Structure 1
């Protein structure tokens, strides 16, 4: 299962609910962190494309500098995605094979930018999107990350639209104005619908 949603949608919360119900949860953000950590496979490619100014003193990607560039320069963001996405996809496929070898067949891949990449849809048996209203996203991220509204809006604008995410979905879980218990119930109903 590919699981995605915009920032502040509650995607990670739903992922953990699936895990509590017996799924194996693989976090694409954790894979990205390992790829861009010192010695990570993405580091030489990032240094070649962006220069050593984007590599920190420890040898990993300078996240703050890269975040600032990626959110202000669309071409730079696409260039970074062209480096990162194929590496994450390869790691995802390898992780799926390893878990299946251990007899695990309900594997949930939490992929924030699933809808933004043409590479992902063919990888998964089904895609679940966690969705909420735009204003709800903004409020949650401002509260959680203590970011100004303008920064949050810039992050949201750099991601796929709600309509684009919903278009690629086999199922949509609407996480707005619901309790955690109601959200869990909908997540489990979605899983049951697909025989998971």
Structure 2
């Protein structure tokens, strides 16, 4: 089974492309979803996070209070590394399980939808790396217009991610999403043909 890494900066339309690939019959493993799943109530990582960062990172129902955790985990490198040491092994284990499930179901390829694919070096584990590319100002405009985010907040988030040149340099395929969603169809069809040819 081939692993197709799909990435792009915030506001690039990566999720739209992932949805189109799912419609084409490919299972999609969403890294953000994995990160949420490993801290659900009853998961071992949640108890470890409470032990490491304080019981009050959990609410009255035992669910994670993400804002409280973030305020403690991202104060310095040491605390961020503590968070990562708890969550990352669980995320990797769940990712491997999802890939194995896709392969057992007969999938010839799985789409690994991961915002930090390049930053975390996961692109090196992929058979094909797909980058959804959009100019920064267009991403800012879309996120302000469609998600109601403040422009300054969007620019701050973009600055925290890998720069576009680094992402493009890691790409085997670049999907240009600067235009209308309808312009994606032909590019995604070409991508599907490329995946089938792997």
Query: Over the residues paired in the alignment, what is the CA RMSD in angstroms?
Result: 2.2
Contact 1:8 1:141 in 2 (8 A): yes
Output the TM-score relative to the length of structure 1: 0.86
Going from structure 1 to structure 2, the CA distance change for 1:155 and 1:41 (only over 3 Å counts) comes to: farther
**SS of equivalent to 1:172:** strand
Corresponding residue for residue 116 of structure 2: 113
In structure 2, C-alpha distance between the alignment counterparts of 1:181 and 1:149, rounded to whole Å: 26
Cα distance, 1:67 vs structure 2? 4.5
- The equivalent residue for 1:131 is 133
Pairing 1:142–2:144 present: yes
Q: Contact conserved, 2:53 with 2:69, CA < 8 A, in 1?
A: no
- Could you tell me how far apart the structure 2 residues matched to 1:137 and 1:41 are? 37
CA contact (8 A) 1:142 1:148 kept: yes
Counterpart among 15, 40, 48 of residue 43 in structure 2: 40
Call closer, same or farther: CA 1:142–1:82 in 2, change over 3 Å.
farther
User: 2:104 aligned with 1:101, yes or no?
Assistant: yes
Q: Which runs of 4+ in 1 moved over 6 A?
A: none
SS state at 1:194 partner: helix
Aligned length: 193
Indicate conservation of the 8 Å contact 2:109/2:195, yes or no.
no
Larger-gyration structure (1/2) = 2
Q: Distance in 2 between matches of 1:78 and 1:155?
A: 20
Q: Where does residue 28 of structure 2 map in the other structure?
A: 25
